[in-house]
Amino acid sequence: MLFLLNRILICTRVFAGIYDFIHIIFMNYNTCRTPLRISEYGRNVQKMIDVALTIDDREKRTAFAYLIIESMIKVRQEVKHQADYRTKLWHHLFIMSDYRLDVDSPVPLPSKDDVRFKPSAVAYNRNRIQFKPYGSIIENMITIVADMPDSEERDVLSELIAQQLKRDYLMWNVKGGDDETIIRHFEHLSQGKLKLKDDFKLHSTNSILATSVKKQNKVGFKPKNKPSNNNKPNNRQPNGSNKPYIQGAGGHNRNNKSNGSRSNG
């Protein structure tokens, strides 16, 4: 009996191996198929386009192309929310046919040169910031004010910019920001064109920091760590425990138990 069961088990393993081998040979995996030109529409739409290329009659081929467009809309329904989406679908249809589909399309079809056109690189601003705590906007402001003619407005703007330099510097380094450093940076950024008055003084560090704290409190800034409510007098028990005092019926405390039994009021 044991010998027979052993033979049956061996035969089962052999048949399972043969089944797996046939399954591997005859299954059509994606790795064995031709790659999709636009994978968003799936394999079935690509097969429909391949069938359309085999239709000889131009009218039937055009009618079949319109059916393919409707199928593409059903596959990707979100495309209907885009502007001029049918033009985009016809372009995709023509691209997926490898530019070989000859139909009467309602829109002009693209060429290979139009699709493979590489746009020019975006010109990024690569200007180096001289002092990172201030940023490029302050530097541009100083350049504009430095080019202004001598006037009272120019002097006022220079003083305002100098005050802003110290605010920005304190945001980057609270312990630093002495007035001599700020004024030296201001003159360097203006290339010596802007001069502050002899009696000009920057705001003190303490006043700037206090103003920033007031602004935070004004917009609703709250500390993360909130104090516990267990220490409030109303939440303490008569015996000094931190558990809330709950008074039950008859004036008895439900948190207190004697010998594991409830007290009857």
Mean pLDDT within 69-75: 90
* DSSP labels, 89-124: HHHHHHHHTTT------SSPPP-HHHHTPPPPPP--
- On average, the pLDDT of the chain sits at 76
Report residue 172 as tokens: 């980057």
Bigger pLDDT: 248 or 54? 54
Which residues are registered as beta bridge partners of 247? Answer: 253
pLDDT score recorded for residue 202: 86
Bigger pLDDT: 61 or 249? 61
pTM of the entire predicted model: 0.40
Q: What are phi and psi of 88, to 5 degrees?
A: -65, -40
pLDDT at 108 over 80: yes
pLDDT at 61 over 90: yes
Mean pLDDT within 68-92: 88
pLDDT digits (tens, 9 = 90+) for 228-244: 555 555 555 555 555 55
pLDDT score recorded for residue 259: 46
- Cβ contact 68:48 at 8 Å: yes
pLDDT at 64 over 90: yes
pLDDT score recorded for residue 60: 92
Report residue 44 as tokens: 């079935």
pLDDT at 139 over 90: no
pLDDT at 33 over 60: yes
Q: Which residues lie closer than 8 Å to 209 by C-beta, 6 or more apart?
A: 170, 174
Report residue 6 as tokens: 């052993």
pLDDT score recorded for residue 263: 43
User: Domain spans of the chain?
Assistant: 39-115, 135-207
pLDDT at 214 over 70: no
In the chain, helix, strand, coil percent, each to 5? 55, 0, 45
Instruction: Pick the closest to residue 93 from 59, 70, 118 (CA basis).
Output: 70
Percentage, residues of the chain above pLDDT 90 = 12
pLDDT digits (tens, 9 = 90+) for 151-180: 889 888 988 988 888 888 888 776 766 888
